[in-house]
Structure 1
Amino acid sequence: MSDAGAGGAGGVDEGEASEGDATHAAGTDGAGRSGTDREQIAKLIDGTLPWSELRNDVLPDPKDPQRFETTRAILEERVDWDEPILVPLNEKLYVVGTDGGRAVKCECGHEFCPADENWKESARVRVREDEEEVGEIYPEGMGQNSDWTFQLREWFCPGCFAQLDVDAVPAGYPVLHAFEPDIDAFYEGWLGRPAPDREEAVETDGGRDVESEVDRTEDTEGAR
């Protein structure tokens, strides 16, 4: 048998793993499923994961079940407040669980509004309208047409003044609530468990609401 035949189509001898195979094996869990390690996820969040590693090690593999939880844990470690992060809205904004319900919060700790409201209505905004202001952002010839009635809206956190979003819209365009995640459907339907703020509020036993049953029992005993 020729060397090529002995080593397979790639000419690699049996027992000799390629660099890609070794990387893939290092990222497997105990059940043999490939997973993304914590360091890789941190680099994905920061945008610093090398393209070669992203292409060869992360993209070919299905998302492991713990990737979102690992991402959430890393994000929580990076902020100075204790409320659980439920979902990120962008690089600096999160929906969190608070004692008063779900809210939109900046990484600096500034709380905007309840999660079902539009956080932009509680943000600071700079509106660029004329060609000179828009020209500070766009190179000459790539900004607005002089015939357009155009606005560049830059949204900032009132607490830390980090820029959170930018809208390029016609003048008079409404401030839309662009992203309204169905948090409970995501956790229960995709992750198979309640959201962290729901886990803390209600304990269940075989589908029964234990907390509610305890309350009803106490009310009955108190009425005797």
Structure 2
Amino acid sequence: MNSAHRLLALAVCLTFSPLAELSAQATVSGTVSLPPPPPTDVIAKRYNMVSDGSTLTPSPPIAIVWLEGASTSDSATPTANAEISQENFVFEPALLPIQVGTTVAFPNHDEEYHNVFSYSKAKRFDLGRYMPDEKPVPTQTFNKPGQIILRCDVHEHMKAVILVLETPYFTSSDTEGSFTLADIPKGEYTLKAWVDTKTTFEKAITIDDETEISVSFD
């Protein structure tokens, strides 16, 4: 067998090998049924996380969608940090999905004291009161998965949510509830969709030979 034939045979083997099959990746897309927008008077107050007393909902409503499964827990530790600022007396963004191990900075951009604290089970902390010129900017590293509710003890209306996830496969929907997750390897997963602090939908999905999968949470 000459060298050209050997290269062709090698290419055929690689194309149909189990390794090539494992490297196949898919796109998962769909829609999430979102709650109705908050009343106009709430929007006028620029509250970007609204509460009915026990449940926090983003304003405007969006969903956080992610995959859980065997292959997601083996993914690399995140390399990028994240930020939630305090500006115009709101947390921005008011909803932040991150991977376990991410460090989040909390800069104050208002000319007034702010404070960031949480009593959530996944992360309990209190950064104390600080002005915008105080350095270094306070940070927290989130090493456990879960839902973190943030508050400011100076301004009662300020609230935000961090979702700490054990997967790199997550995304935010648009305000119509549409989402797309790309480059997903083969496997069995649970697809989850968070819409507020009390509601998370989930569906089991299997990614095999299909490259486009559509899922809806109605």
TM interval, shorter chain, is under 0.3
TM-score after normalising by structure 1: 0.24
Highest RCO, 1 vs 2 (Cα 8 Å, sep ≥ 6): 2
TM-score after normalising by structure 2: 0.24
The structure that is strand-richer by fraction is: 2
The structure that is helix-richer by fraction is: 1
